[in-house]
Structure formats: C-alpha cells, structure tokens
Amino acid sequence: MKLYLPKSFCGPVHLQAKHRVWYSAAVRTQLTPLSEVDGDHMAFVGNMEPNIWEGWQSWKGDSFSGDAGATSIDVYFDDEDYIPTSDNNCVCM
C-alpha cells in the first residue's frame, strides 16, 4: 500500500502492517517515531512541539490511521519528485 500525505500534514500517524512500514527520505526529515510493536507503528509527522502534543485522543489537528493487513506500507509526501507510478493500493489524503 502507498500512502501520500499532503506536504502540510502535521499530526500523528498510526499504521498497522504485517510487513514493513517505510517512509521516504522527505517524510523521514519530518518524522518523530513514537512506538513500534508487532506491526503497530505510531509516529508524528511535522513539528512535534511537546507543549502542543498531549496525546492521540486530545489531538485536534491532522491525523491518519490505517491498516494494510498482510501487506507493507510506503509513505510519501504528495509533492515529492519521485513517486512510484503503480497506484494499485494508493491511499491519497
């Protein structure tokens, strides 16, 4: 599965995948990993200021949660120069 986040995305991402979760280089520069346990990945994309982030339930901004099942997930920003052209399992936000 491929996930394309808007460049302006700022918030938590909760991804579940039995295989890997991969972030592009551009996304990794904006990524703060929060946890990874048994295929359950939680991260924050964007400027994670401790005085603003109080947890998933209280967050009022952007967020994304997705389950890829038995496949893997590749995460990109939607304005990246290289985005694979195979969109069979594309999730666009």
Q: Encode pLDDT of 14-67 as tens digits.
A: 999 988 899 999 999 999 998 889 889 999 999 887 666 677 677 888 999 999
Structure tokens at 15: 């991804």
Query: In this predicted structure, what is the pLDDT of residue 43?
Result: 93
Report yes or no on 56 lying in a domain. Answer: no
CA distances from 21 to 24, 42, 57 (A): 10, 10, 23
Residue 23: the pLDDT is 92
Domain span at 21: 2-46+62-92
Residue 77 reports pLDDT greater than 90 = yes
Does 18 fall in a domain?
yes
Q: Is residue 57 in some structural domain?
A: no
